Amino acid sequence: MAERLPDGWERLDPAPLLALWAEHYGVSPEVFAELAFYRRRPEGADTEDPQAGSLWARSATVPVPSAPVPETLGLRVRRGDKPDTQVSNAFARRYFAGATRHVVHLEDPDEVRGYFETTDLSRHVPSDGDGYYLVLSPWGVLGRARAHNGRLSGEPSKNERVPPVL
């Protein structure tokens, strides 16, 4: 029996994403084996636009409830208008602990705090060039950072920043 999804949701074949994440971050596709991936399209969005909406992941073993109709399906992976290598911080923290490429290591507690204060991290600019990186610490994945024109900036979400952005 086919999975019944709420209006505006469609299930995706994750193979291209998993291959990209394996290549870019060095994370094995097996890490995501228990997940199902979905795209949520905003009302009125062009159904042919692959960037419309957002990408979500949830357990593949639990059926989607039919009532009440869920507002979301799991954990947001990324917003649709972002490159596929830019994953949400929450998704990165949960699934990218084994990343071996495009990572920045922060060892000092002050530097870790600096990530959440959106301090310039440029002294850690990787030689791989511009793009998205995962910020790792002794305590795990902190989230993502973006290298652009020789500058590295952490991208904690607004509610993760110190002090919080209200």
Judge whether 40 and 53 are in contact, CB under 8 Å. Answer: yes
Among 2-6, 10-14, 105-109, which is the least confidently predicted range?
2-6
Which of 99, 118, 151 finishes a domain? 99
What mean pLDDT is predicted for residues 31-50?
A: 80
Q: Is the peptide bond before 83 cis (omega within 30 degrees of 0)?
A: no
Looking at residue 158, what is its pLDDT? Answer: 83
One domain, residues 13 and 69: yes
**Residue 10 sits in which domain range?**
1-99
Among 11-15, 84-88, 123-127, 133-137, which is the least confidently predicted range?
123-127
One domain, residues 95 and 106: no
Cα(28)–Cα(25) distance, rounded to whole angstroms?
A: 9
Which of 99, 123, 149 finishes a domain? 99
Buried b (16+ CB within 10 A) or exposed e, 83-94: eebbbbbebbbe
| pLDDT of 44 over the 70 cut | no
pTM, full prediction: 0.86
Q: What percent of the chain has pLDDT over 90?
A: 46
| C-alpha distance from residue 36 to each of 20, 32, 143, 146 (Å) | 17, 8, 22, 27
One domain, residues 79 and 29: yes
Q: What is the CATH number of the domain that holds 132?
A: 2.30.130
One domain, residues 58 and 93: yes
One domain, residues 41 and 12: yes
One domain, residues 71 and 48: yes
Question: How sure is the predictor about 164, in pLDDT bands with cuts at 50, 70 and 90?
Answer: low
**Distance between alpha carbon 165 and the CA centroid of its chain, in Å?**
21
Q: What is the pLDDT of residues 78-117, one digit of tens each?
A: 987 677 889 999 999 999 999 999 999 999 888 888 899 8
Total domains in the chain come to 2
One domain, residues 73 and 133: no
